[in-house]
Amino acid sequence: MAELRAWADRQRFFRRFVLPIADRMDRAGTAMRVASVPALILLMGPFWRGLTLELFRIRGLRAYAISVLGSIPHALLWVGLVLGGIWDGFLKNALRDEVWPFITDQLWESLIGLF
């Protein structure tokens, strides 16, 4: 733990955002750690999530549940952003203009309205 802490002290992100929360042992610190779990899940990958939980002194079954089960919403968020951007930016217009030109505009607008 001392080596991890020394490494985190050298990293600007951890020194600025994670360690101030990890160092507080009062109720406010506990509330801040609990409030940071959604950001941990959505923004950090599994490795960084595990390091942050270790610095927060969250161990055992709770840390395992946050790390493993947190991968599901993390993946859904980023896959949804990428696929939504591809659909809206490219596929919708390509299907409308090139692949299915025989579909009338009214039918096409009703199909697009579903998505």
pLDDT(99) > 70: no
Of 68, 86, 9, nearest in space to 53 by CA: 68
40 band by pLDDT with thresholds 50, 70 and 90: confident
Please state the pTM of the whole predicted model: 0.60
CA distance 19 to 34: 14
Of 17, 33, 32, nearest in space to 66 by CA: 33
pLDDT(33) > 80: yes
Name the residue ranges covered by the structural domains of the chain. Answer: 2-69, 72-114
Q: What mean pLDDT comes out for the span 50-60?
A: 88
The rounded mean pLDDT for the chain is 82
Which runs of consecutive H residues, i.e. helices, occur in 1-115?
A: 2-10, 12-13, 19-23, 27-35, 37-43, 46-55, 61-69, 71-86, 92-94, 105-114
